[in-house]
Amino acid sequence: MHIRNLAGIPYAELRFSLGKYVTDALAVRLHSLDYCDMDERSQAHGLQSAQSANISERKAEHVRYALVSPNPASGASWWDDIDLIHEPLPEFDAANFDPRVQFLGREIGLPLLISSMTGGHPDAEHINRQLGALAERNNIPIGLGSMRAMIVDPRLMRSYAVVREYAPSAFVLGNIGAPQLVPQGRKPALLVREIRTALDHVGASALIVHLNFAQESVQPGGDLNAAGVIEAIDRLVGTIGLPVIVKETGAGLSARSAQRLSDIGVVALDVGGSGGTSMTWIEGQRAAARGDTLLATLGATFASWGNPTPAAVRMVRRSGPTVIASGGIRNGLDAAKAIALGANLTGMARPFLEAAVAGDEALATVVDCFRHELSVAAFLTGSPDIESLRQAPFVAHGRTRTWIDAADRLAAIG
Ligand SMILES: Cc1cc2nc3c(=O)[nH]c(=O)nc-3n(C[C@H](O)[C@H](O)[C@H](O)COP(=O)(O)O)c2cc1C
């Protein structure tokens, strides 16, 4: 088998142990999201199997393009427009700053999530092993990449399951795309029991449902049926048996979506705002490489589409669920600003991906720097813990301020 490689990852590390993790369906008695009869399902699954190689290839390309610089939206300019007010008399010993937070009933070491990225292709196993070990060492939660690939082709399971192996006590979050919860043309919706089985195999502590209709709009054959998604998430919340989190993937949650998701019992919202990795830009680059001018143009046009992360935090912060700020968070100071805007914790994807490719030392440095930057920002705003940091005063300038004002108005309307 020919296996492509990312910079510096030994091929020997990338081999699958095929068959070892092949699914033996667990008996989970759940209501299902049946939309078609079994003949139709197996036929459609045949189609899906044929697509398995495509999904795997696409996942590998996402990783490759996410690492390309300059990704036009990979900077974090929105955060540059926010200043925290300096407090010259912090009145506590900096050594006593407490960075721990409660996340879904458990204490975690830092307000930092390793955002969902990868799984389902050979390179993913090595990356996920490193990220899993990092999560375990620092007692921080880690999101898996979309599990659709392993549901369609169980041989890909190892690249996900390796996270739990290396993070036996960390909060591991399974991940599935909202578009896969409803039928897409001839492709049937995933069943609750398929998702539940996948969650069991990876030892997930909770499920993230990701919203990515901006990305799907620029993807060849993208899944664009969004009808029934909220009802499908509602059914998942009621039947999956684990807490359900909903996230955007770079275009940002809105006040309206946050309220609807809160109303159906979603426990945490990850705003996934614009200003960080742009999946529309990545899809545009993939299209350009294939010579698909239309989708390449769409990708470029919509590269910066979406609600900026600071504004998305303002829109969702009072909706009820725990708020995770992600999308363009690049260090502990950005995180401190996001928390001052109202987030409970923050998430980063690309910085971890870059560091994973560079090696374990680089990964440890990302977290160490984050911890120190966050501590200094907290000390210099007079915030002895994360709850106090949430009250820290800030000033917003320029376009970010315009967005924040609009977000606050939208959140007030509800
Ligand atoms: C290579 C790559 C793959 C991703 N795959 C997923 C995914 O499978 N599921 C998901 O919910 N988000 C996925 N994301 C989105 C991230 O979780 C995150 O929302 C986004 O990258 C913004 O964070 P960042 O600016 O720190 O990179 C992916 C991001 C990257 C870079």
**393, 391, 338, 257: which is closest to 76 by C-alpha?**
338
pLDDT band at 213 (very low <50, low <70, confident <90, very high): very high
Task: Copy the structure tokens of residue 257.
Answer: 């979506």
**What is the structure's pLDDT at 42?**
41
- 180 CB under 6 A from ligand 1? no
How close is the Cα of 370 to the center of ligand 1, in Å? 19
pLDDT of residue 55: 81
In 3D, which of 119, 249, 248 has the Cα closest to residue 174? 119
Sign of CA dihedral 103, 108, 114, 119: negative
User: What pLDDT, in 10s, does the model give residues 30-64?
Assistant: 222 222 333 344 445 444 555 677 888 888 888 88
Residue 71 has pLDDT above 80, yes or no: no
Our answer on whether the CB atom of 346 is closer than 6 Å to any ligand 1 atom is: no
For ligand 1, say whether the CB of 274 is within 6 Å of any of its atoms.
no
pLDDT of residue 75: 53
Question: What ligand 1 atom has the least distance to the C-alpha of 115?
Answer: 17
pLDDT at 24: 23
- Which residue is closest in CA terms to ligand 1's atom 4? 117
φ and ψ at 288, to 5 degrees?
-60, -40
Domains by residue range for the chain, with CATH: 27-413 (3.20.20.70)
Query: Does 116 sit in the ligand 1 pocket, CB within 6 Å?
Result: yes
Nearest to 245 by CA among 228, 233, 254: 233
Task: Quote the ligand 1 centre to 330 CA distance (angstroms).
Answer: 14
Q: What pairs with residue 187 in β-bridges?
A: 184
Say if ligand 1 is within 6 A of residue 145 CB: yes
Mean per-residue pLDDT of the chain: 87
Tokens of 114: 């390793």
Average pLDDT over residues 238-262: 98
Q: Number of C-alpha atoms within 13 angstroms, CB side, residue 182? A: 16
| pLDDT given at position 1 | 29
User: Is the predicted pLDDT of residue 117 greater than 60, yes or no?
Assistant: yes
**Separation of alpha carbons 321 and 90, rounded Å:** 30
116 Cα nearest atom in ligand 1: 17
Look at residue 263 and tell me whether its pLDDT is greater than 70. Answer: yes
Asked whether 328 lines ligand 1 (CB < 6 A), one says: yes
Task: Give 205-228 as a DSSP string.
Answer: SEEEEEE-HHHHHHSTT-----TT
Strand partners, 245: 208, 268
pLDDT digits (tens, 9 = 90+) for 378-392: 999 999 999 999 999
% residues pLDDT > 70 (the chain):
86
Q: Is the pLDDT of residue 11 over 50?
A: no
Mutation to probe ligand 1, out of 245, 277, 353 (largest number of atoms < 8 A from CB): 277
pLDDT for the residue numbered 63: 87
| Centroid of ligand 1 to alpha carbon of 132 (angstroms) | 16
For the ranges 12-21, 177-186, 264-273, the lowest mean pLDDT is seen at 12-21
> Does the predicted TM-score (pTM) go above 0.95?
no
